[in-house]
Structure 1
Amino acid sequence: MNTTHLTLDEKRTLDYLESVKTRLSQLQESIHFFLRSINPETTPGTVAWTELHSKFNVLIAKYLHLTNILNDPRIAFNPRNYTVFPFEPPANDQQVQNLSVLLRTKLFPELEQADEERIKEGTIPGLPALPPSPAPNRAVNPAGVNTPVGTADEKKQWNAYKLKVMMHDELCRKADGIFEQQRDMVHTKVRYESDDGDEEDD
């Protein structure tokens, strides 16, 4: 990845995200390994309690280390600032299959109302209070508004919200790709192990 155009803060943010990604991958591998070790289909026989305890301790240690990274107050970048809080239900069932739409939509009106009130009050960390809007969907559907109206501060706030939505969708797109890759890897492993088992039976 070409990082020559990035500022120093952006490079630090990128390094931070790479570190989190590495820790998440390690934690995922540890969880997968632990689940296999306690699964009688993949690990026949009795597993020693001391061995399970040791593997579980490794799992907990990696989880705590990742938690400490995310909660480190010395790190200016906070992943929570990239959260887009959902407001409205998806337009159709097909949109629900889209990860970015799924993560910023809700099907429970009472939850939507609670989050709408929190955003109006400005009590959600990383998300400023939105100005009153004449249209019901103005504060929840930035893609439907071509040009924000209001004061300069309101326009700036609105553009920041639209940027957050774009960043959220990009992160969702990448996460969706990772999920698909991991799912393909798991399916490949299952098919491979199943073929080996059939050969041994023969």
Structure 2
Amino acid sequence: MSVSYQQRILAAANKIFVENGYRQADMRSIAKEAGIAVGTIYNYYPNKAVLYQAILNQQWEEFDRRIHQVVNDLSSSAREKLQRITEHLFSFVAHHMSMWREIINDPQRDEFQLLDEGHKAQQKAHNQLKEHLRRVFNEHTSEPSWIVERHILAYMAAVTHIGMLFPAETEQNINYIMSLIDNMPRLSK
């Protein structure tokens, strides 16, 4: 069975985007990786942004589905949910470091800048994750929303930087993040 051009494009684009990130990836590199002409990509995807959106949406939907299941698990405490989310996040960061970095950074762009489909996909992923975290952080706390928002941002920053600096130390990273969570007001209850 032969692999279709679209499958080859998606596989090559996934590899290039994971290795280089959205901003640094280019259609020539993707075409070279897929073993096809650059023009062939444009038969399936009108531009890099739409191709990236397809890749990120594919990667993120699976991740988001897992996080959604964790958040909606009524038998787990907020701390247990955060530990499972942290495990999933470190796995995602380890396998999609460039994408993760852009998901975290891109929503900080100037709100007046026009966003292409790739940036919109990053923004959607960022907002979905924050909403999941907001639900868990709010589960057992009566802290004001501005404090919860800071907990979420601190958590995301810690996972990002620790995951990037110590990618091979997953268990230690999870334990460290959980110790930070345990020291957040009312979350250890």
Q: Give the TM-score taking structure 1 as reference length.
A: 0.24
Query: By percentage of residues, which structure has more helix?
Result: 2
User: Relative contact order, CA 8 A, sep 6+: which one is greater?
Assistant: 2
Q: Give the TM-score taking structure 2 as reference length.
A: 0.25
